[in-house]
Amino acid sequence: MTQRPLLQMAAPRRGKPPRHFADLTREERQEAVRELGQPAFRAKQMAHHYYSHLTATAEDMTDLPAGARDGLVEALFPPLLSKVTSLEADGGATKKTLWSLHDNVKVESVLMKYPGRATLCVTSQAGCGMACPFCATGQMGLTRNLSAAEIIEQVRMAALAARDGDLGGDPVRLSNVVFMGMGEPLANYKAVMATVRALTTPEPEGFGLSARHVTVSTVGLVPAIDKLAKEGIPVTLALSLHAPDDELRNELVPINTRWSVDEALDAARRYFDATGRRVSIEYALIRDMNDHAHRADLLGEKLNARGEGWVHVNPIPLNPTPGSIWTASDPAVEREFVNRLRSHGIPTTIRDTRGSDIDGACGQLAIKEA
């Protein structure tokens, strides 16, 4: 049974967030600045403040004329995210933040610090329409898509926190962004692509992240994977497979009834061919559900049938969600699953489950207090 989302009922008015600088292309920014009576080059100055200095505050933009500064900032940088709470785990190295959007919709993002770098897990949709039964967000249904600027603001806030040493210890640079928070990124394609462009465009017009350090994770929306492959920005693609056979995957990832395991794997292989980027296969190990040795073998065979060196597998022990009957696989079963895959020659690494004690781990992002 899918629960009706409380969040959806609580949201007073859902709708388009106000227009923000980060939603606009370079030309549109110049146009917007001109409409406000300023020369077009102000757009570049503002981009520099936003993407390099990570600020959207008028007082910081001292190279803009004093008389125009407030007007420009008010018109182009409306506040989109307000912080509701944040929770820490792993001795402060993991931080989950709950944000409220303009229409009171709540979303979460998780920032994780590693030696010399930091990774942000971003939300692309409020809720999710994919209804995977083991995923907390999947139980909520879809409230709405986030705008590009609502996703980009999550990134800016995190980059600021990392730079200012909010994660304890030395400041770090936000180096990696993964679309593994709430939502199905490829179901919000336009805003996600605009975000990917903002992430990978060099400073000062973007955050200047390397495309390989940006991961788009999907249930396997085949036409959107093919579209992504043609964008010319070789981000890392993660395919949430969770089962190598249609019978079980139909249950775990319901969109499988539309695009089967083979179709999703073929699209993943085409993505590798187009980008040269090795694809990650995500596989949440669920006790007695999908963790059988014969399934590891079948997965290994299906991946090898599509060639060598194009893929690796990231098993992750299931993070049990409240009310679910499912739980993580036994460590011994997990080891056997990994060994089997490796014996097929498939590079396999267990994924890290940071932040599980603050419900900040993979697939756990869903708002309780809504």
Residue 95 contacts residue 88 (beta carbons within 8 Å): yes
Minimal distance, residue 341 CB to ligand SAH, in Å: 16
**Given 108, 184, 334, 359, the residue binding ligand SAH (CB under 6 A):** 184
Q: What is the DSSP string of 54-119?
A: ----GGG-TTS-HHHHHHHHHHH-----EEEEEEEEGGGTEEEEEEE-TTS-EEEEEEEEETTEEE
Q: Which of 119, 321 has the CB closer to ligand SAH? A: 321
Residue 141 contacts residue 5 (beta carbons within 8 Å): yes
Dihedral sign for Cα atoms in the order 241, 243, 245, 249: negative
Minimal distance, residue 54 CB to ligand SAH, in Å: 26
Minimal distance, residue 364 CB to ligand SAH, in Å: 6
> With CB under 6 A as the contact rule, which of the stretches 83-91, 110-118, 316-324, 341-349 interacts with ligand SAH?
316-324
In residues, how long is the chain?
370
- How deeply is 175 buried, as exposed, middle or buried, from its count of CB atoms within 10 A (0-12, 13-18, 19+)? middle
Respond yes or no: is residue 282 known to be catalytic: no
Residue 148 contacts residue 182 (beta carbons within 8 Å): no
> With CB under 6 A as the contact rule, which of the stretches 30-38, 199-207, 295-303, 313-321 interacts with ligand SAH?
313-321
Catalytic residue (one of 27, 88, 108, 184): 108
Minimal distance, residue 73 CB to ligand SAH, in Å: 33
Q: Which of 48, 312 has the CB closer to ligand SAH? A: 312
**Given 319, 338, 348, 366, the residue binding ligand SAH (CB under 6 A):** 319
Tokens of 190: 């336009």
Respond yes or no: is residue 108 known to be catalytic: yes
Is residue 219 at the binding interface for ligand SAH, with CB under 6 A as the rule?
Answer: yes
Catalytic residue (one of 121, 128, 132, 362): 362
* Sites for ligand SAH among residues 279-298 (CB under 6 A): 282, 284
CA pair distance 20, 154, nearest whole angstrom: 13
Q: x/- binding map, residues 103-142, to ligand SAH, per CB under 6 A?
A: ---------------------------x---xx-------
Return the H-helix or E-strand segment holding 149. helix 148-163
Integer CA distances (angstroms), 189 to 103, 150, 277, 350, in order:
21, 14, 20, 28
- How deeply is 337 buried, as exposed, middle or buried, from its count of CB atoms within 10 A (0-12, 13-18, 19+)? buried
3-state class (DSSP) for residue 280? strand
**Given 38, 123, 147, 321, the residue binding ligand SAH (CB under 6 A):** 321
Q: Which of 248, 284 has the CB closer to ligand SAH? A: 284
Active-site amino acid positions: 108, 362
Residues that bind ligand SAH (CB under 6 A): 130, 134-135, 180, 184, 217-219, 240, 282, 284, 316, 318-319, 321, 362-363
